[in-house]
Every structure is written in structure tokens, then in C-alpha cells.
Chain A
């Protein structure tokens, strides 16, 4: 990897734990990610693997009482002075993180129906964000909000700005959320399953919209989803996450054409292909996600892995990330050359 290449966001060995009455949940257990400016990273994984917790950790939006970032760093390059700060070290309620939220890193959520407060108009909620981060007059902010609503494809922006969210459809609300997120021109947009709650035609529209806005606003996007179709549409790079760890990462082409980790292979196999009229059943991944409270030694996927080798995979540490081809990493003993245990040797 070219060390000189500038990153926008770099997560190193992030560990975010939740402290529940039943014990510690290691929601994120050693995630490393690198986002380049202007690029889209797709973070894929099934429910409960820690995708959203990773996103919330970046913006420090996690509940203060029950969660803690145990380890790791989240390095973020600020916009103008190019200074790099570690988001893990700053006060989650302080001034610094508040000047980053909404202004440099914005987020949109899965549920557009509940993402907006029902008692304030759309305009109120967007203008509030604009006025917070920009020194402009309320009238100007209103103009800008209308402009933003138009740029997310809401034609009746002038009247819609005074509407309450319950009068809008799910797709319209998600567009409003995107308009609000982009209103201060962030350098990173985190999209936390933005299309999951929408129906398929609207999903496609929202993805198209995000793609065109990304070009227009020159921002990086961290697209969190369990939908591989969405990833294929929009991502430049992919990181596959399983039980709090990245198990494989690389460019879209590398991961889709040459998946290495048994989990990635399983994920890709379990996608239905429209028009495929064969009577073949989908190949699901056997088993289910282990209990979040349990601590699995070694490779977390070994319990469901089709090529599982008892002794090696159950080792204390598990595999390290290995670069199999340039910029294509995998965390699996099958490819761990340093250890000298290739899967086919035994």
C-alpha cells in the first residue's frame, strides 16, 4: 500500500464494547478501514456484525453510559487545514466533535420515517443545521435549504420546505434527510443502510441520487448495507465485516470477481440472480450468527465455515489480515503465508 496516498478517514484497530446487564458485547472488535477522499467504501455484513456501531463510533453518537471505545483510533483529516485528529480521543459532547458533525461528517439513517422530528417542518430542521455551521442570515439559509431540496430531486421544494414530515412519503423523507446531510457540504457522508426501509424502485432512485450527488459534492461515502446489489452499484471499495471484524477488503472488482474469505464467498453465493431460471436453490451460509455475548477464540467464522480446519482456526489469535494481491486483504488462515498453514497443505 502506498503510504503517501492521502486518506480522509483511517480507522485503526477500533474496539467498541457495550456493557449490558448480561455481559460485555464486543460489537466492534478490531476494525481497520481506510477511506480515500471522494471515494465510496461499501461496508457489508449481516445484521448485528457491528457495521452501524462502527459508523456511530466515527461520529461518537454511541450511548455514553452503556458503551465505550476500548481501543484503537479514528483518524480524520479536517477540511481546510488538513490537520488530522483522532476522533476517539475527543470529548463526545464537546465543541470539537459538534463542529465536525453535520459540517464535515454527515450521516443518514435507515429509517426515514423516524429520522425527522414530527413536530417541526422540514425547513425548520434543515435550516437549523445550516445556521449552526454557517454564518449566514436565516433568509439565505432558507434559500439554500430550498436549493438543497431541489438538488435531491424534490420538485416542489418551495412548498415542501414548510411541510411537516408526516405529509411526505418514505422516499421523500429520505431525500429530505440527504438534503439535510449535504446542506453543509461534508467531506464524508455516512449512509447507514439508507435504502433498507424503502421499496425497490425508490431504492434504485436513492442510490442513483447518492451517486450523482457524490460527484457533484466531491465527498467520500461510507455506504453501510447488507445488500450486495447496492454495493455493486455504488462502491469503489468493499470491506466485508463479520462479528466485529473486517474479514476481507479490496476494490469492488477484486472482491466480487475473486472473493477469498469463505464468508465473502458464501455471501456472494446467497444473492439471488434475477433471470436465473435454474431450479437451483440459493446457497445459504449454514448456521447463524453466534450469540453476541460469547467470546470466540480464533476465527469467529470457523463455526460456520465450510473449509474449517479444527486445529489451526481455533488458535488463540486467529488470522491476521494478509495482502493477497495489491490492496486486496483477507483475514483467513487459508491465505496466511507467514504462518505457513495454507489450507491445501493439510
Chain B
């Protein structure tokens, strides 16, 4: 789960990371009031969960409360990469002498958190990794020893910070790591961490991604979830315990297992079609689950055909077939359906579907199923 800049910065601040004074506004009038209270120039920052806000005109400097109001009005009406701006953060503007990058991610190969710093702040770290990888300094953190001061010193020195900043930088780094641990983050990032004209460090931007698997122990964070992070369908799927990702194609996919679901999307593309979604219905064959999944798929207006790809392992294909038929009682299919059931009791499963009276196109192999689904979506498959 992604957190907004203002949420991330507040959580970092609770662990001693200095952040600018500021507040969130949902209206232009609020923005003006906040700017008046802060006094002096402010930055009006759109709060949306995508990168590239600055380039899109979603981050602007205002010299006066009047200007803050005008800019907030403009930004609050914007869409950035398809996401509507519903909130703006009004921060006191800082005088930037130097911009650096500081972040923590999980290094999957080292199976530990790694802290990264770079003197090239304000640029996406992936960009720096591509163009100037040597500029990124890294330390791997042992979970039992924690982040040690010699490690933060190595980072500070490595990115060429002035000596008098070594200690304050160490404090910021420790605070960021503590916040990362405390909230079960998979990413915690300050970009940029600036040095202002008085030589103080300040986290002017912040980003945190929380591990969904750990949300059970962070109920306070779960409440912060932004509705725009996922589509309404994705939200409903998540609440129903289904793994669903919306795509922009025309063939709805219902598959058991995540790897097989990805492979099913891929083979549709391979045969010239385009998948409308990723969907893993998980183990078992409960009619209710299949019905919810089918309803979600059919709610997508782009969907012109649905492909069921089920591998019966422990779960038997005849049970899955019954589940599919029971789902049809609740959700009437409105587009052509192609079903491929393979594995345990596959023949019984196919017979149940064939005898049902529903217009299901059967396929034996995955390749055949994908080709039939592609043809069906084009209206080229005779029933």
C-alpha cells in the first residue's frame, strides 16, 4: 500500500526526521488560510500516488497566500497520469542549497534492507541508477544489528557531504530506518533531502510503501489507503479476497493460481489478443468466489470474451465445473465464454459444462483456449 507524501513525511517526523511546516488542504480557501498562517512563500504540492508530479505542473511555488489560493484551485482540478488531485500539501518553502537522495528498500538478493544515498537528489533513483550508478552509495542492514553509525558515516562521506553534516545526516538516516521498521515498509524514501541555506537538513519530499502482508498489525495505516490507488473493481476484488489487476484489453481471464494467470495473459497476447485483467481465484472452487470473479470481469465494458483456465490439482475439475455453473445462476454471462479444464477429473468437468446448456466453448490445450478466446472476442467464433 502506497502512502501519500504528507502521510509519509508525518510518519518520518515521528522518528525525528525534520520536515517543513505545512498542512493539507482540500479547497483553495483552505490553502490560502494555511499559507497565511505559515507566512512567506509556500509550495503547493498535489497529493497523488504517482511520480512525476512536478513535471505535470502539480508542484508550484507561491509567493503569497493569494497566489497559493490560485495555484491550489488550479492543481485541485487537475488529473495527473489519470489520477484526480483531491488534496494539496501546503509546505513552507525552503531555500535549497543542496539536494540529496536517501532511501531504504528490501534487497531481495541480499534478503535484507539496503539504505541508499546519492548526491543527485530530486531525480528518481532509477534514473540515477541508469545514468550514473556510481553516484549511488549503499549499505546493507543486518536485521539483528540494525543500522550502525559507521554505516551512515560511510554514506555521508560517500556522497560528499560536508563534515558538519555527518551527525545530522546520521540522525535522519536512523529515523528513516526506524520508521521503515515500525511501519513494515517495503520502501521509505526522502527525495530530496535538502540542505537549506542555513546548513540544516530537511525532508522536503517523502514516500513510503507499506507491505500489504503486514497491514494486519497496522490498522491505523490501513485506514490511510487512498481510494484512487486501485480501481473500484480492484478494491472489490481485494475485499473479496481475490487477486485482481485491471488491464485495458478485451479478454477477461479467470484462472486458478498467480503464475498460471500471468501465463494465460501472456498466451492471449501471443495469439494476437489482449487480456482485460489478471485474476487468480485461488484454490478450491467455491461457487460464490467464482460468481464474484465473473461479476467483476463482466463489469468491465471492454470485455468481449471470457477465458476460464483452470488446472485441477487437489481441486477437482468436476468441482470447479459445478462452481462455474452455480456462478451462472447468480451472474448471467453476456459475452462468449471459453473454458479449459485440465488435470484431475478433467473429463467429468468438461461433461458437466457440456451438459449444462450454457454456451461454453471447450478447449483442451491452453494454446487452443487462447486462440478461441481471441477469435471469440473478434466475433469470429461461430457458436
The answer on A and B forming one complex is: no
